[in-house]
Amino acid sequence: MGVLELLWAYIVVFVLAALPFFEAYGVIALSIFAGLPEIPVILISLFGNILTVLLLILFIDRIKEWRRKRKGEKVEKQPSKRALRAQNLWKKYGLPGLALIGPLFVGSHLTAFMSVTLGGQKKSTSIWMIISITVWGVVFALLSHFGVDFLGYEDRGILRDIIQND
């Protein structure tokens, strides 16, 4: 893989990790399976995901105001299943529990949004979200690394091998 191709791959990794519902841990796993170097992928994915979550927390008040205006002062009907899961996690485990468990079920962006909405302080939510994103990123990186190693694909990407065999 050339330098330019690698640069574009890293840009895609960053953008995907920064997007809501494309979590860093998922992007890390896919990138490792694709054969990209692990350490840069982990760092770039974590940075992309953490950056957008911190921006969301920083501008949460403006985002809530935008959502309220967009809905036109409508009274919300029933909370979504995701919101109910987040509320249950909050009641049972508080901010640390929601921050650590939430990204696996509802994504890190929605978890951060719900954490602040349910009463978490911005600073505490930021710290717990950074911890959570980092922990899950490292866990999935290790699982992916050993999975690739176990399958015998340590020198070439699984996805690249599948594509080339077709």
Total structural domains within the chain: 1
With vertex at residue 99, the alpha carbon angle to CA 90 and CA 66, rounded to the nearest 5 degrees, is 80
How many angstroms separate the CA atoms of 143 and 120, rounded? Answer: 31
Helix (H, G, I), strand (E, B), or coil: what is residue 65?
helix
pTM of the predicted structure, to 2 decimals: 0.80
What's at 97, amino acid-wise?
G
Query: pLDDT tens, position by position, for the chain (166 residues)?
Result: 678 888 999 999 999 999 988 899 999 999 988 889 999 999 999 999 999 999 999 998 888 788 778 877 655 567 778 778 778 878 888 999 999 998 998 899 999 998 998 888 999 999 999 999 999 999 999 998 887 666 665 555 555 555 555 4
φ and ψ at 138, to 5 degrees?
-65, -40
Distance of CA 148 to the CA centre of its chain: 21
Distance of CA 143 to the CA centre of its chain: 16
Distance of CA 19 to the CA centre of its chain: 8
Element (H, E) at 114: helix 108-117
Domain that holds residue 32: 3-165
Residue with tokens 């922990």: 135
